Amino acid sequence: MVYLFLANGFEEVEAITPFDYIKRAGIEVCSVGVGGKRITGSHEMTVEVDMTIDEYDPDKSNDMIILPGGMSGTQNLRSNFKVIECLKSAYANSSIAAICAAPSILGELGFLKGKKACCFPGFEQTLKGAKISFEPVVIDKNVITSRGAGTAQQFSFSIIEYLAGKKRADEIAGQVKWVF
């Protein structure tokens, strides 16, 4: 199971794109609200989540936790003690994917030390101990990072490839491909 953590102020594209594409790939995904059952994004899109952070069991086995960015969304994730507890468990036992400003949380927790990582331009100093990359998406062991809303598709395909293989990621990419 993949858990997508959403806090008020999340960047909609960075949350909805992975949620949709991961579901299309046949991977179970569950949205987790930090701050209630209804969470409002940075551009005023409100979503009803599957469960709240209080219902989430950090000791529960999972495949991945995904953190979308959005400045205030990232700050709201960072300030929640249970989110931090969940991330520590996921880092030790499974994997984490973070995009835009959200990799800064991983940097603060020391999860990026010695790892290659990327983030929203200008946030590089928050990736404490990381080998900074300017690639759209970086996978290093059990951590996936990405740069922002413009890389949400690549981020989503990378998550699918990590969890279900390149063939499945390519199949989903083929389904959503734009033809110009």
Residues with catalytic roles: 100
DSSP assignment of 99-161, as one string? ETTTHHHHHHTTTTTTSEE--STT-GGGSTT-EE--SSEEEETTEEEE--GGGHHHHHHHHHH
Pairing type for strands 51-52 and 116-117 reads: unpaired
CA separation for the pair 28, 102 (Å, rounded): 22
Which residue bears the tokens 């949620």?
19
For the chain, give the longest Cα–Cα distance: 46
Contacts of 180 (CB under 8 A, 6+ apart): none
Which residue bears the tokens 């949380």?
105
